[in-house]
Amino acid sequence: MSIDDQGFLSPDVEPFQKTIRERHKEFFDLFERVSRMCHRRKYDFTIHSKDGQEVFAGALFLKLLTDTEAVVILLERGMASQGRSMLRVAIECAINLAKICTTYEFVQAYVLTGERQRLQLVKGIRNNPEIGFDAVLNEITDDLIEGIVKNLAESKREKIEDWAADVNLSWMYHGPYRVFCPDVHSGPAALDRYLVFDAEGTELETYNVGPQNAESIPGDLMLVTRLLIEGITQAAKVFQISVAADLQPIQSEYERLGRLAPSDLPS
């Protein structure tokens, strides 16, 4: 079935995927180089189950790998907005990873972020009961909520913005993380890709329902590559491994592609 009938589940997406890959080949190739290196070096991590920093650092690194791969899978299929939404998820994971790797004491604070999320969830279910929640409502007791609140009583509520500043990644938070907000929250700015206007830009002619070879793809691929470089660099500190030799040629190619003028980038 065609894209008009089946959307991105249609096999007709494959030619678009090939075209996007070919037009931005150097950027896809660079990401895959660092991804392969990260997958190879993850086996050098020695994780002790009683060391919270190592446990969380290892898990966050693996999540970052998967997050960035998901970004690439979406971008190469022409799902530009969805790719940028996933890219924002990957940025948050990278910031959490850097914070965990930099500050051992952050382990407890990180655990408490999960407790805050848990508290919001149980309160939300309890205050807005629906038929689908009948099976769990009896489990959400006063004692359960009071116990979570007690655990959080002495903790300081911090934000991702604070953590980014602590690990010198404020540029990532205030730049791309914020830029991708409209895609995540379906803001008006994210809808431009779906609307096709006439030459004057006043009359809506049609909707764009298929793959989009967005101009942002090279920049987005450079960012996911940067996230993996940052991620393996941070993880290497915790697990006391050296990745300098692995990163040197990757970093050189990253810098070369970064020096390309906008007019030189594939469109």
Per the CB < 8 A criterion, the answer to whether 176 and 87 are in contact is: yes
* Burial degree of 21 (CB within 10 A; 0-12, 13-18, 19+): middle
pLDDT tens track for 72-110: 999 999 999 999 999 999 999 999 999 999 999 899 888
Q: How far is CA 182 from CA 139, 171, 212, in A?
A: 36, 18, 17
pLDDT tens-place string over residues 20-44? 999 999 999 999 999 999 999 999 9
* Whole-number pLDDT of residue 129: 61
pLDDT greater than 90 at residue 130: no
| Largest Cα–Cα separation, the chain | 64
Q: Containing H/E element for 167?
A: none
**pLDDT value of position 154:** 67
Domain locations along the chain: 9-264
Between 178 and 148, the more confident residue is: 178
User: What confidence tens digit (pLDDT) does each residue in 178-194 have?
Assistant: 999 999 999 988 888 88
CA distance 199 to 154: 60
* pLDDT recorded at residue 161: 93
Cβ neighbour number for residue 36 with a 10 Å cutoff = 10
Kindly state the DSSP code that residue 212 receives in the 8-state scheme: -
**pLDDT of 267:** 42
Read off the pLDDT band of 1 (50, 70, 90): low
Which of 153-157, 223-227, 238-242 shows the lowest per-residue confidence on average (mean pLDDT)? 153-157
